[in-house]
Homo-oligomer: A and B are copies of this chain.
Amino acid sequence: MLTELNAGDLQALKEWLKSRTQTIGADIYGAAAGIIDQVRAQGDQALKDLTKQFDKVDIDTLRLTEAQIDELAAQADPAFVKALKGARDNILEFHEAQKQNSFLLNRPNGVYLGQRVIPLDAVGIYVPGGRAQYPSSVLMNAIPAKVAGVKRIVMMTPPAANGLVEPNIACAARLAGITELYVTGGAQAIAAMAYGTESIAPVDKIVGPGNAFVAAAKKLVYGTVDIDMIAGPSEILVIADSGADPAFVAADLLSQAEHDPLASAMFVTTDAGLIRKVKEELQKQSAFLPKKDIVEASLANYGRSILCESMEQCLEIANQIAPEHLELMVENPMNWLGQVRHAGSVFLGYYTCESIGDYYGGTNHVLPTSGTAKFSSALGVDAFVKRSSFLHYTKEQLEQDSAAIQTLATAEHLQAHATAAAIRTPSITADDQKARAAADAKEPQ
Contacts and interface: CB of A to CB of B under 8 A. Distances in A.
Nearest to A415: B290
A168 interface: yes
Interface residues of A, number: 129
A356 B401 contact: yes
B407 A79 contact: yes
A255 interface: yes
A316 to B, nearest CB: 13
A142 B438 CA distance: 28
Interface stretch (A59-67, A184-192, A306-314, A361-369): A361-369
A87 to B, nearest CB: 7
> Which of A363, A378, A420 is most buried by chain B, counting CB atoms within 10 A of its CB?
A420
B226 A352 contact: no
A131 B413 CA distance: 9
Interface in A301-359: 333-334, 337, 340-359
Contact of A353 (B347, B404, B421): B421
A9 interface: no
Nearest to A439: B82
Interface string A92-127: 011001101001010000010111101011000000
Contacts of A363: 113, 115, 389-391
B132 A353 contact: no
A394 interface: yes
Interface of A: 21, 77-84, 86-87, 93-94, 97-98, 100, 103, 105, 111, 113-116, 118, 120-121, 131-136, 168, 204-205, 223, 225-226, 247-248, 251-252, 254-255, 257-259, 285, 289-291, 295, 333-334, 337, 340-364, 368, 372-378, 380, 382, 386-395, 398, 401, 403-405, 407-409, 411-421, 423-424, 430, 433-434, 436-438, 440-441
13 contacts: A79-B433, A83-B404, A87-B404, A113-B362, A251-B416, A289-B416, A344-B388, A345-B390, A353-B420, A357-B391, A361-B391, A363-B390, A376-B386
